[in-house]
């Protein structure tokens, strides 16, 4: 069941038996209610950052090149990327748009210095890109410059999403939306010395996190036997 930021904060107050009622909103709180809201938001961010490989923190992108233009920002993608953390360098592929996906091949990453020395010259001849690198501004730089329209595709790691409004929900699937609640209980218990609250939160958090790991982390592929 999906839970909003406000619902998680209210549930945390109830679980730790904090005084008062609410909160009625997560915005503009003070005192203990602010700490409760902050603990939920911090817990949610920490869960997103637990693994770089979380499936829900990976997005797909496609990019249509322009002839003689070898540099592309995240905003140039077919669906502009606004939550880029890092590009997944091993996933980049390319095909000539006029030919179609049957023409698809891997793009090979090279470091920026190697790309700069090989391709950042005034005499560069356009052609089919075979290399790419990532600039200091996180732009994709192709080499050689494309001579026609190519379709580049791949994956990227998303940046952390911060809940700030009452109706915001965690970015991971709804069945794990209680994770910030349980981690919030641990934060409350550590801050206030409430050992029983901490232990309850830790037990519930660890159990649910293990289930999410099995679902949301890529499976490890075992290497085949050597002949």
What pLDDT shows up at residue 226?
A: 40
Question: Is pLDDT above 60 for 224?
Answer: no
Q: What does the alpha-carbon distance between residue 100 and residue 79 come to, in Å, rounded to a whole number?
A: 19
pTM greater than 0.95 (yes/no): no
H helix or E strand, kind and range, residue 156: strand 150-158
pLDDT of residue 109: 98
Q: Which residues contact 20 (CB under 8 A, 6 or more apart)?
A: 13, 32, 33
Q: What is the dihedral of CA 194, 195, 199, 205, to 10 degrees?
A: 40
Alpha-carbon gap, residue 133 to 139, rounded angstroms = 8
Give the CA angle between residues 33, 34, 37 to the nearest 5°.
Answer: 90
Please tell me the predicted confidence (pLDDT) of residue 98. Answer: 97
Residues 205 and 54: their CA atoms lie apart, in Å, by: 17
15-58: pLDDT as tens digits: 999 888 889 999 999 999 999 999 999 999 999 999 999 999 99
Averaged pLDDT score across all residues of the chain: 94
pLDDT at residue 221 is higher than 70: no
Instruction: Give the distance, in angstroms, between the CA of residue 31 and the centroid of all CA atoms in the same chain.
Output: 32
Q: Measured between alpha carbons, how far is residue 44 from residues 37, 120, 163, 184 in Å?
A: 11, 42, 8, 9
The pLDDT tens digits of the residues spanning 107-155 come to 999 999 999 999 987 777 899 999 999 999 999 999 999 999 999 999 9
Half-sphere CA count of 70, side-chain side, radius 13 A: 25
């Amino acid at each position: 069941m999906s839970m909003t930021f406000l619902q998680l904060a209210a549930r945390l107050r109830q679980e730790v038996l904090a005084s008062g009622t609410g909160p009625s909103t997560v915005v503009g709180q003070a005192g203990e209610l602010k700490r409760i809201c902050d603990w939920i938001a911090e817990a949610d961010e920490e869960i997103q950052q637990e693994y770089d490989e979380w499936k829900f923190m990976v997005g797909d992108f496609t990019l249509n090149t322009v002839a003689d233009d070898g540099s592309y920002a995240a905003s140039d993608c077919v669906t502009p990327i606004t939550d880029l953390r890092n590009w997944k360098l091993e996933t980049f592929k390319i095909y000539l748009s006029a030919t179609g996906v049957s023409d698809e091949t891997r793009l090979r990453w090279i470091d920026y210095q190697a790309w700069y020395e090989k391709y950042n010259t005034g005499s560069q001849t356009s052609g089919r890109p075979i290399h790419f690198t990532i600039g200091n501004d996180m732009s994709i730089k192709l080499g050689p410059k494309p001579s026609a329209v190519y379709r580049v595709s791949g994956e990227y790691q998303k940046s952390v999403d911060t809940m700030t409004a009452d109706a915001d929900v965690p970015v991971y699937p709804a069945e794990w939306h209680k994770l910030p609640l349980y981690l919030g209980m641990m934060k409350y218990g550590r801050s206030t010395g409430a050992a029983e609250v901490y232990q309850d939160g830790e037990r519930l958090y660890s159990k649910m996190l293990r289930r999410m790991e099995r679902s949301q982390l890529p499976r490890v592929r075992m290497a085949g036997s050597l002949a």
